[in-house]
Structure formats: C-alpha cells, structure tokens
Amino acid sequence: MEIEREKNRKKMVGLVIKDKMDKTVVVEVERFLKHPTYHKYLKLKNTCKAHDEHNEARVGDTVLIVETRPLSKDKRWTIKEILKKEAPVPATE
C-alpha cells in the first residue's frame, strides 16, 4: 500500500541550503529549460521547505524530497532519503 501511495507524488532532487529550523530544511532544486525560440538552456532554481523528522540533513547534502500533504503554511515536501552527505568542515582554532 505504501508503494501505491507514492506512485503519483512528485519527487525532486535538491541541495540543502539552510538547516537552522527544527525538523525543517530549505532545499534548492535546479532544473534546465530550453528556450523555445532561441534554443538556449536556462537554469531555473526553486527553493522549498521540506520536513526532516530526525534533523539528519545538513547544509550541502543532496536529498530526495517527495510531495506530501500541507504540513504547515510553507511545508509541502518531506525528505525521503539523503543521497549524498557533505563532509563536515573541520573547526579552525
């Protein structure tokens, strides 16, 4: 039943750009669009807030987000999995 529920949901891969909120991250999704007249590729970026139940995602991580029901005013996405973890930056003192 879980597979049937996710069959019709949108999925996007993006980069975490903010993780300061509790159980929420801001994900930036890039896509390319070919201009119909000039045949030039345009890079479009969208940001969306995604639910992160266990606060696992960090800035720089690549994540797979899936569309869900509205969880708050702005949150309509949830993190399904973290595809690539960004290496932590060592503290310099």
Specify the pLDDT at position 20.
95
Residue 39 lies in a domain: yes
Residue 13 lies in a domain: yes
Residue 30 lies in a domain: yes
Specify the pLDDT at position 73.
95
CATH code for the domain of 23: 2.40.50.140
Instruction: Give 26-52 pLDDT, tens digit per residue.
Output: 999 999 999 999 999 999 999 999 999
Residue 62 lies in a domain: yes
Q: For residues 32 and 44, is the Cβ–Cβ distance under 8 A?
A: yes
Gyration radius from the chain CA atoms: 16
Closest CA to 21 of 80, 92, 74, 67: 74
Segment-wise mean pLDDT, segments of 10 residues, the chain, 93 residues: 71 96 96 96 96 94 96 96 85 68
Residue type at position 64:
L
The number of folded domains in the chain is 1
Residue 60 lies in a domain: yes
pTM (predicted TM-score):
0.82
Question: Domain limits at 72?
Answer: 2-84
Reduce the DSSP state of residue 30 to 3 states and report it: strand
Specify the pLDDT at position 4.
63
